[in-house]
């Protein structure tokens, strides 16, 4: 009887634990935050295994909201796992950057001034503002709401319409269905013209959440701003006629706020299929200007190699002038955004953030996360420029001549002894304007009152490389030529 009684008690305990775990979910998180949640909400979390500074846990949904509200100020702070076994395995294989991963063996360089510089002028703050308000108007985009799924469906249509407007037959848009959320992610693909098997990815999360226990989670900054930022950067690439060598994918992730569910499933599938993703950049919150510097690069759960490269892009294109962007570094927290999903699979990921951590928008995860807090997307515009630079430079121009490349080859344009000499008659295009930019993107000369063949006196120019953009009638895509002043 004693043996039977003891066995019965053990079975009851086992059944109770199993039943308890059925009411929650498994995750991995930092040991520090897990201990804080155990102290604050002991009934909502159970630490299952510890390895160094990471833990595998079982946690209730209530516990996850308490983690957001009381302990963290950005991101879920944990990564959702499908099972206890998966969670324990994940912490035993630490999510370190695999800098020597052959999938990511790429010599990052900066060579595409002729494409980047005119693209920067095409990025429109108003488009970003309009898109943020569009997403805010859903009221909430919490992953299990019909409004979240509708937001994804509508974004797919928006991206398809944008591609069609610019006649991009190399673009497709799809919904990525998930196992752990009913909300799909949205993926826009620009197929690489020369190296389509290599991928360059930018993304942000489409869902939103509120810790205030109501249905209103407008998520203007977190993260409608990121979605609007990557959308406008992509549109500018279409307008300039950019055709990439490598495949570009623009991703709007589902269910980031419940443990990076969408990005984690996508990154896991890509890794399982050995997809060669050479670089990933996350755009999560770009609206609020809370620090003295414009961009704060997150240094935890990111690649130092890729982060330094993105800093080099800003040094090259945004050091001064109309497109100036300043930057610093900061740390976030465990699983604070979708870059951690890619990092966990050994891909190089970077995360440029709106401010130093702790100086970012304090109204996120509340009903107050609305566009009216700033009334301008000028800060987000700087991130859209960085996003465009990143995509153009990493994906690179296709070497095959585009229509405008052919036109450019038929145009005589040179600078000599302070004069711009040009002959555009062979292009058989009526010219509207010519602009001349320094290598840092500053406009140094512009004219609209021109004939097809002439010489024009220029202001005094220092030696170096300049970019001329020629706009013709019936085309919004400029012809670009690189010029040298000796």
Average pLDDT over residues 218-231: 97
Instruction: Point out the least confidently predicted range of 171-185, 317-331, 426-440.
Output: 426-440
The closest of 390, 351, 348 to 106, measured between CA atoms, is 348
Does 430 participate in catalysis according to the annotation?
no
Q: Give the pLDDT score at 72.
A: 60
17 close to 47: Cβ distance less than 8 angstroms: no
68 or 36, higher pLDDT: 36
Query: Is the model's pTM score more than 0.85?
Result: no
Does 222 participate in catalysis according to the annotation?
yes
414 or 204, higher pLDDT: 204
> What are the pLDDT digits (tens) for 58-71?
999 888 888 876 66
> What are the pLDDT digits (tens) for 99-125?
444 455 578 999 899 899 999 999 999
Cα–Cα–Cα angle for 75, 392, 486, nearest 5°? 130
The pLDDT mean for the chain works out to: 86
Q: What are the tokens at 231?
A: 């959308």
- Taking the domains of the chain in order of start, what are their residue ranges? 21-92, 102-395, 403-485
- The SS3 assignment for 55 reads strand
Does 284 participate in catalysis according to the annotation?
yes
Distance CA 111, CA 120 (A): 15
Instruction: Point out the least confidently predicted range of 123-127, 232-236, 435-439.
Output: 435-439
Question: What confidence tier does 484 reach under pLDDT thresholds 50, 70, 90?
Answer: confident
484 or 269, higher pLDDT: 269
Q: Is the pLDDT of residue 336 over 80?
A: yes
The rounded percent of the chain whose pLDDT value lies above 70 is: 86
CA-CA-CA-CA torsion sign (451, 453, 458, 462): positive
Does 323 participate in catalysis according to the annotation?
no
Q: Which residues of 177-188 are buried (b: 16+ CB within 10 A; e: fewer)?
A: ebebbebbbbbb
CA 373 to chain centre: 22
Q: Is the pLDDT of residue 463 over 80?
A: no
Instruction: Supply the CATH classification number for the domain 102-395.
Output: 3.40.630.10
Q: Identify the CATH class of 403-485.
A: mainly beta
In this structure, the strands spanning 54-59 and 78-81 are unpaired
Q: Which of 223, 284, 338, 369 is catalytic?
A: 284
Does 205 participate in catalysis according to the annotation?
yes
Q: Which of 365, 369, 379, 393 is catalytic?
A: 365
Distance CA 379, CA 386 (A): 12
Average pLDDT over residues 287-294: 95
Q: Is the pLDDT of residue 202 over 90?
A: yes
Q: Give the pLDDT score at 425.
A: 74
Q: Which of 74, 143, 205, 323 is catalytic?
A: 205
Q: Which of 136, 222, 249, 338 is catalytic?
A: 222
Distance CA 37, CA 45 (A): 7
Average pLDDT over residues 384-410: 74
Does 113 participate in catalysis according to the annotation?
no
Find where tokens 């008659």 sit. Answer: 425
Average pLDDT over residues 300-329: 94
Distance CA 240, CA 476 (A): 8
Q: Does domain 21-92 have CATH number 3.30.160?
A: no
- Residue 321: phi and psi, rounded to 5, are 85, -165
166 or 152, higher pLDDT: 152
Element (H, E) at 375: none
Q: Give the pLDDT score at 66.
A: 82
Q: Is the pLDDT of residue 4 over 60?
A: no
């Amino acid at each position: 009887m004693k043996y039977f009684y003891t066995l019965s008690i053990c079975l009851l305990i086992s059944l109770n634990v199993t039943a308890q775990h059925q009411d929650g979910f498994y995750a991995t998180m930092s040991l520090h935050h897990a201990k804080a949640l155990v102290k604050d909400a002991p009934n909502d979390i159970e630490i299952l295994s510890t390895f160094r500074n990471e833990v595998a846990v079982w946690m209730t949904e209530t516990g996850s909201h308490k983690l957001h509200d009381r302990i963290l100020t950005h991101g879920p702070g944990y990564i959702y796992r499908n099972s206890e076994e998966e969670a324990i395995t994940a912490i035993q294989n630490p999510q370190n950057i695999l800098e020597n991963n052959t999938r990511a063996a790429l010599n990052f360089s900066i060579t595409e001034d002729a494409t980047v510089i005119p693209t920067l002028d095409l990025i429109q703050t108003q488009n970003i503002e309009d898109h943020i308000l569009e997403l805010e108007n859903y009221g909430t985009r919490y992953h299990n709401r019909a409004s979240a799924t509708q937001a994804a469906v509508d974004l797919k249509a928006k991206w398809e319409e944008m591609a069609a407007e610019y006649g991009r037959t190399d673009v497709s848009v799809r919904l990525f269905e998930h196992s752990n959320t009913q909300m799909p992610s949205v993926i826009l693909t620009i197929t690489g013209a020369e190296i389509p098997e290599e991928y360059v990815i930018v993304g942000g999360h489409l869902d939103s959440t509120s810790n205030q226990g109501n249905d209103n989670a407008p998520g203007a900054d977190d993260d409608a701003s990121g979605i609007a930022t990557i959308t406008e950067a992509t549109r500018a690439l279409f307008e300039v006629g950019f055709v990439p060598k490598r495949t570009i994918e623009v991703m709007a992730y589902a269910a980031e706020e419940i443990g990076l569910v969408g990005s984690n499933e996508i990154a896991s599938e890509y890794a399982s299929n050995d997809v060669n993703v050479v670089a990933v950049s996350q755009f999560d919150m770009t609206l609020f200007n809370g620090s003295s510097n414009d961009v704060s690069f997150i240094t935890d759960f990111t690649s130092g190699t890729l982060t330094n490269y993105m800093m080099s892009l800003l040094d090259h294109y945004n050091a001064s002038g109309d497109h100036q962007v300043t930057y610093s570094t900061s740390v976030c927290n465990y699983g604070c955004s979708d870059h951690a999903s890619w990092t966990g699979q050994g891909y190089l990921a970077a995360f440029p953030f709106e401010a130093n951590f702790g100086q970012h928008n304090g109204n996120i995860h509340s009903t107050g996360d609305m566009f009216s807090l700033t009334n301008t997307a000028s800060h987000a515009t700087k991130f859209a420029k960085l996003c465009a630079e990143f995509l153009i430079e990493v994906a690179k121009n296709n070497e095959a001549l585009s229509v405008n490349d052919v036109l450019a080859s038929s145009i005589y344009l040179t600078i000599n002894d302070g004069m711009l000499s040009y002959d555009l008659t062979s292009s058989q295009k009526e010219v509207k304007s010519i602009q001349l930019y320094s290598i840092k993107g500053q406009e140094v000369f512009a004219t609209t009152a021109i004939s097809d063949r002439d010489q024009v006196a220029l202001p005094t120019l220092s030696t170096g490389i300049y970019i001329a953009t020629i706009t013709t009638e019936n085309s919004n895509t400029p012809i670009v030529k690189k010029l040298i002043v000796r």
